[in-house]
Structure 1
Amino acid sequence: MNIVTCIAPVNIAVIKYWGKRNEDLILPLNDSISATLNMDQMRATTTVMASPNFTEDKIWLNGKEEAFLTNPRLLNCVREIKVIAKQNSSAEENKMLDWHIHICSENNFPTAAGLASSAAGYACLVYALAQLYGVKGDLSTVARQGSGSACRSIYGGFVQWHRGMEGDTEEARGSFAEQLVNESHWPELRIVILVVNDVKKKTSSAIGMKRSTETSELLRHRIQISVPRRIEAMKKAIREKDFETFAEVTMKDSNQLHAVCLDTYPPAVYMNDVSHSIVELVHAYNSYLGKTEVAYTFDAGPNACLFLMEKNVSDMLSLINYAFPHSNGEGYFRGIPITTRPLPEDIHSSLNVKPHRADLLKYIIQTKLGPGPRQIEEHLLNSSGEPI
């Protein structure tokens, strides 16, 4: 038997992907740009084992066995990696491609709660399969076939997913991800995730995107006008480490995504009252400072992702603690250690901030930019191919 275990990161889009022009190939309607988060705080872990003794393919996700043969995206990823491996392997190596495989995957963060779990999961699966079968080169086009945004988790730092050309399968190869800058480009940048709700969302991203593609007039404007301009502005802001432009474009794009979701029929609602309160708090804080020091973005869920400089983390989290008090003890602050300090006396009255009821936030994660997937030695399967 052969066994490989890898970890892969979550990514958070600052220019959003929303809508497909080809559901089977997972070809997006527009380009997107994302930040890859550090795996020390948030990651997927996947073990893949191949053995001539296995009688069937099996997969376990977060401790539960799932159907293998009825998951077309999983099958697509496995098939595509094997096709590439056959083209580049010897006859002896080809024998392993006929063996059944067992897969075990875990996330150390909530699944299906709007925290990009499928992106990390499929990126990890594809990367692990590539290591198992000795596949080299760009893996983003394979990861894309599992989950669109998974292609961005193949690389670290800031990553652009190119929509590719209109047309058939051959032209679909133009839809790939590439790294814009690596994780060390902007070392002082921090990402703080406010987990508002860690339960499964009512409307999946896949269903929401399909509805928007079919019914939203605003989505058409977004694809044709807004996103192309924002892509160029965002790339320039990242290269030049221009935080104010980065923040403004990030927030506007997030707002537009959720406007598209409301313009969808029936509407797909992902943000809630707590989400909107966080938006108001960020704008009030930036107004108080007289410049934009914090940016928010929301994927298809209520959880807020804040971008800010390391020097501003303590003050912003002190303000969040005041506005969103909590009774949770150990485990409320996660990731990079967080320290808070007393805020200026006038800030609460200047911002007109009043405490909400306790425990509207479940926990807070501080992280930063991180690298792409890598192989590790601690496996999730035992020597018999069963979860440990």
Structure 2
Amino acid sequence: MDFEYSARCTELQARLLAFMDQHIYPRENAFYAEVDENGRAQGNRWLPTALIEELKPLARAQGLWNLFLPRSPRAPEGLSNLDYAPLCEIMGRVPWAPEVFNCAAPDTGNMETLERYASEAHKAEWLEPLLRGEIRSAFAMTEPGVASSDATNIGTAIVRNGDDYVIDGHKWWISGAGDPRCKLFIVMGKTDPDAPRHQQQSMILVPADTPGITIVRPLPVFGYDDAPHGHCEIRFENVRVPAANLLLGEGRGFEIAQGRLGPGRIHHCMRAIGVAERALELMCRRLNARVAFGKRLSEQGVWRERIAEARIRIDTARLLTLKAAWLMDTVGNKSAQAEIAMIKVLAPNVAQDVLDWAIQAHGAAGVSGDFPLAYQWAANRTLRLADGPDEVHRNAIAKLELGRHGV
């Protein structure tokens, strides 16, 4: 088991760190100020920011572009999962940074889905502009009317009608749907309710301007609307698309979902480790700078214990994430399913605890907008639900472990 990064990864890591120091951290708050100013001036918080559009060409010119997509002739710059891990971690330290490098969810997962499962015509139509960063996309799976943690519950109807499919359903928490650059939905729904349980679902490509799609409302997360990205509630009513837009064929939705969610989950974990690392850094700086009861906070036992625990747990989560990445690269996503499930539980929980300690160390400032901690706490808390809740992953881990012992 070799976790050594390649020479190319190490070189990109140094280049990315320099880019973050020069372009991202100094303008971190300017991004949110621009979102607010756009909203007030033009009445539309969902307009893309000029800041990110300005930084994209700089990132691309430095070769920091589409690093997430391995083994694609359309993205030769793509890295292995193991080499991408430390770079994704660095990007994750600032919530909006991944888009600068065209490495933001849900586009990364959608691009991987299109690369693996779409026709050449659809790759030319959708994948190539996504890889160029010209458009954005969304993945429509979760529904308000059912427990979507069990994806067999998903009830959106995808019904064949001549040369088309007609889609009717109700989705929510569709990330990125509020962005006017969102031009494509990948929709999961039922094509055959009477088929075996895991063959009822299919996935289909739906252009965002198709008649019958209604954005009902943006959904805030702990009071944050996440503009200009956002998460939306959507209705599909008599939405008609060509039958050729179905990916792979009827009944193969779960197969596609598993291929998509493996990389998506590990990317979430990589970014969560970056969040935890930055929270620990901010916590240590704050504790060294503040004095209470006659000595620096960093000299007090309770805070040293928390610092030590944070370092132990962050490094534990990173090592397990690297193992999962290494397995995905060497034996495939399916063989790495236990490790992917384990990190999906571990990394967000570690990040949440370290964020909580960092907020506590900052006192009232920690829950303000003067530091990134409150927003990152809110965003990270959703990861214990996104791409499957903790309970589902723990159940999968337990089943695999029991299977090893003959149960």
Same fold (TM over 0.5): no
Higher helix proportion (structure 1 or 2): 2
Q: Taking structure 1 as the reference length, what is the TM-score of the superposition?
A: 0.28
**Greater relative contact order, per chain length (Cα 8 Å cut-off, separation 6+):** 1
